[in-house]
Amino acid sequence: MAQSPLSMDTILATLHGMYKPPRSFLDWQNPLELLVATVLSAQCTDARVNIVTKTLFEKYKTPEDYANADILQLQQDIRSCGHYIHKATFINRTAQILLKKYNGRVPDTMEELIELPGVGRKTAAVVLHAAFDKREGIAVDTHVLRLSRRLGLTREKTPQRIEIDLMRQTLHEEWGNLNTLFISHGRAVCVARNRKCGQCVFQNACPSSRTKGKPDLAGIDPSVSLIHIKK
């Protein structure tokens, strides 16, 4: 674990004062919709997913709808989210498992969720926090990964190892909020390219602050996503 001059408590308290993010940036009405939307969001923007699900959720309302779907049609329905062949298969197989094993409901534990096709710890943590108000992990997406490294909260490079570092430093009650707060700051100020350190509330203490002549501790090409689709 890296030693940041900024404590996680300070960072989160500051971000809470700046942003009031929703529990998820994805549009959803029930756990099934959130699960589908989160699977679709792998290597795709939330904005694009929200456009696609606006019509998708009109057409597919139940696990049966996805389980019995014409797979080629489902692929076309989600095509613009990218990786649509894999994602359609994941959603179709997940729906079949929900029907067979969970009586059509979305399970509400990390252990059960990560057994579903296409569902890794990031997706599971998002669903658990937003849909069930449960915190069994921290969702490490591209923004959380970048900000955690820049702020000196971790030296790790993989989402799995970064999540462990973050869980050690973060009050359990904040595990869900961390993701949406870091996304908010990552979109507004600490952007992937040309981070806006001159506008950042952390610029005096941040170990990646441009205004202090510090290097970018993200240390990776910010255009390269480290979040892979679970196959």
Q: In this complex, which beta carbon is closest to ligand SF4, that of residue 120 or of residue 207?
A: 207
208 binds ligand SF4 (CB under 6 A): yes
202 binds ligand SF4 (CB under 6 A): yes
Neighbours of 213 (CB within 10 A): 6
Distance (Å) of CA 27 to CA 31, 32, 49: 11, 12, 8
- State which of residues 74, 106, 150, 165 lies at the interface with ligand SF4 (CB under 6 A): 150
Write the CB contacts of 220 (distance below 8 Å, at least 6 apart in sequence). Answer: 149, 157, 226
Write the CB contacts of 147 (distance below 8 Å, at least 6 apart in sequence). Answer: 153, 182, 185, 186, 190
| Per rule CB under 6 A, count of chain residues that contact ligand SF4 | 14
Name the minimum Å distance from CB 194 to ligand SF4. 10
8 binds ligand SF4 (CB under 6 A): no
Instruction: Tell me the C-alpha distance between 140 and 186, whole Å.
Output: 13
Contacts 24+ apart (CB under 8 A), 56-60: 57/29, 57/33, 60/36
83 binds ligand SF4 (CB under 6 A): no
Name the minimum Å distance from CB 95 to ligand SF4. 40
* Identity at 231, one-letter amino acid code: K
Instruction: Tell me the C-alpha distance between 209 and 59, whole Å.
Output: 47
End-to-end CA distance of the chain: 29
Question: Looking at 46, 141, 165, 216, which residue is catalytic?
Answer: 141
Q: In this complex, which beta carbon is closest to ligand SF4, that of residue 56 or of residue 189?
A: 189
209 binds ligand SF4 (CB under 6 A): yes
Backbone angles phi, psi at 8, to 5 degrees: -60, -40
Residues 126 and 24 sit within 8 Å (Cβ to Cβ):
yes
CA-nearest of 74, 107, 113, 76 to 92 is 74
70 is catalytic: no
145 binds ligand SF4 (CB under 6 A): no
92 binds ligand SF4 (CB under 6 A): no
Q: In this complex, which beta carbon is closest to ligand SF4, that of residue 75 or of residue 203?
A: 203
Please report, as residue ranges, which positions from 35 to 64 form the binding site for ligand SF4 (by CB under 6 A): none
216 is catalytic: no
- State which of residues 54, 196, 219, 221 lies at the interface with ligand SF4 (CB under 6 A): 196
Task: Pick the stretch among 110-118, 129-137, 158-166, 188-196 that binds ligand SF4 (CB under 6 A).
Answer: 188-196
Summarize as ranges the residues that interact with ligand SF4 (CB under 6 A): 150-151, 189-190, 195-197, 200, 202-203, 206, 208-210
Positions annotated as catalytic residues are 122, 141
